[in-house]
Amino acid sequence: MTRAAALPILDAGATVAALPWSRLVDALEAMLERKAAGSTLAPERLALPLPGGMLLAMPASDGEYASTKLVTVHPGNPARGLPTLLGELLLMRADTGQRLLILDGPALTARRTAALSVLAARRLAPRARGPLLIVGAGIQGRAHLEAFASVMGTRQAFIASRTRASAEALALHGRSLGIDARAVAGADDALAQAGVVVTATTSTAPVIGDGVRDDAFVAAVGAYRPEMCELPAALLHRARVYVDDPAGARHEAGDILQAGLDWARVTALEDVVAGAAAPPAHGPVVFKSVGQALWDLAAARLALEARQ
């Protein structure tokens, strides 16, 4: 009997290395085109309660490949010396089920989320100018700082966070990348200057005011449950609003739900990518991202290509 080759397993560092920013943005754009063409499947994620946490299962297929991401979320883990989020993604061939690759779930999620925000900015607000404001200095804040610097050439950034220490730490990381980054006491202190705003928190109340510039682009990626909210209702009602996944947003986009926004005013990013909808003529532009298993699959495909 021939022994099967060992399944490649990429840890967090190897997963990051396999997903360079510019190529990941292009991979996500290609997946959005496949989704718009109706060649993908991605059912709603399955959530299974666990003692002190939750198990999330997110399958997807584009007909050529299939993937499943398994993630556990245990808020009490830091007190045990463990990460809150643990998980992995399994990539396989769709026609045979042959297992191809395992990637680190948290690293993949951070990369594809930030890359999707960059894609949305490029497609929806290519003329947005000025410094980047990031609200939330965690994993997503760091990923977005790196992604916008790498792909969009961002060279000035303001960082706001619940604690000054975490904002200063991310600003220091930004300066190591050649960005003029500095911490600010509050997000609204820099809002009038920012041409691009990223909110990456788990807040249940708006983390910025309605002082967003008329020509600004806002990516709201943190609030992922109906009771969460990062943006003020007034901003959503005056902005052009786009989402990464309309089906998921109707259940999870607390910003939109709490603002009582008419869903007829909400456009899917895939429609702009596929040419079915025109990009906005003016702003401000809000892109609400709730996540989708197809974005994981797009990243996994890219990682596989890097190994071939």
Amino acid at 278: A
Instruction: Kindly indicate the confidence band of residue 1, based on its pLDDT and cuts at 50, 70 and 90.
Output: very low
The DSSP output letter for 263 is G
User: Is 5's pLDDT higher than 80?
Assistant: no
Q: Are 293 and 249 in contact (CB under 8 A)?
A: no
In whole numbers, what is the pLDDT of the chain averaged over residues? Answer: 95
More confident residue, 130 or 229: 229
**pLDDT more than 90, % of the chain:** 91
**Across 231-259, average pLDDT:** 96
User: Is 53's pLDDT higher than 80?
Assistant: yes
Q: Which residues pair with 68 in a beta bridge?
A: 59, 90
Determine the pLDDT at residue 60.
98
User: Is 2's pLDDT higher than 60?
Assistant: no
Q: Where are the alpha helices (H) located in 10-58, listed in sequence order?
A: 12-17, 21-36
Q: Are 243 and 288 in contact (CB under 8 A)?
A: yes
Q: Which residues contact 174 (CB under 8 A, 6 or more apart)?
A: 145, 149, 157, 159, 181
Q: What is the pTM for the complete model shown?
A: 0.95
Instruction: Kindly indicate the confidence band of residue 306, based on its pLDDT and cuts at 50, 70 and 90.
Output: confident
Distance, in Å, from the CA atom of 127 to the CA atom of 152, rounded to the nearest integer, reads 11
Q: Are 56 and 291 in contact (CB under 8 A)?
A: no
Q: Are 197 and 218 in contact (CB under 8 A)?
A: yes
